[in-house]
Amino acid sequence: MTSPPKFPPSEDCRSRLKGAPRAVTVKHVTERPAERERRRLRAEYKRSERRAWEAQLPLTLADLRALLDHLDTELGVRGCDHTFAATEAWLAAHEHDVERVIEGLRTLGGGCDCEVLANVDPETHV
Ligand SMILES: [Zn+2]
């Protein structure tokens, strides 16, 4: 059995808590238009960077994600021998133009299987 709290807040305390300004409110009031504009421009820049990066992809985003999943598994098992062995195997199995795609992956910083995994990751790129 639990006993009622010995010192429930007085009416006075409760009304003071309710009326207390919250940090969020304060932040919005003091935010200046220049800051908002800077944030908007930064977000816009990031979006356009992202679009430019995606435009360079030699695969669709869905295919790239599938390839990266495959590399993640493969490299976890046997490590990277600094070739495109696992990438090539996956591309060939999924009927991609192996040379063209690998050339594109190289351009994006993927010089071997592990570099593709590390440098051509859509989740960490932006
Ligand atoms: Zn490697």
Domain extent listing, the chain:
12-54, 58-125
pLDDT value for 73: 96
What pLDDT, on a 0 to 100 scale, did the predictor assign at position 126?
Answer: 46
pLDDT at 114 over 60: yes
pLDDT given at position 122: 85
C-alpha of residue 119 to centroid of ligand 1, in Å: 11
Ligand 1 mean position, distance from CA 125 (Å): 18
Q: How far is the CA of 3 from the centre of ligand 1 (A)?
A: 65
Distance 79 CA to ligand 1 centre (A): 8
- Residue 21 Cα, ligand 1 centroid: separation in angstroms? 54
Separation of CA 83 and ligand 1 centre (Å): 6
CB neighbourhood size of 92 (10 A): 11
Instruction: Give 33's pLDDT tier (boundaries 50, 70, 90).
Output: confident
Q: What mean pLDDT comes out for the span 46-62? A: 92
Q: Greater confidence, 126 or 84?
A: 84
Q: How far is the CA of 23 from the centre of ligand 1 (A)?
A: 48
**Cβ neighbours of residue 79 closer than 8 Å, sequence gap 6 or more:** 114
Cα 84 to averaged position of ligand 1 atoms, centre (Å)? 8
Query: What are the angstrom distances between the C-alpha of 80 and each of 29, 52, 92?
Result: 53, 29, 18
Query: What size, in residues, is the chain?
Result: 126
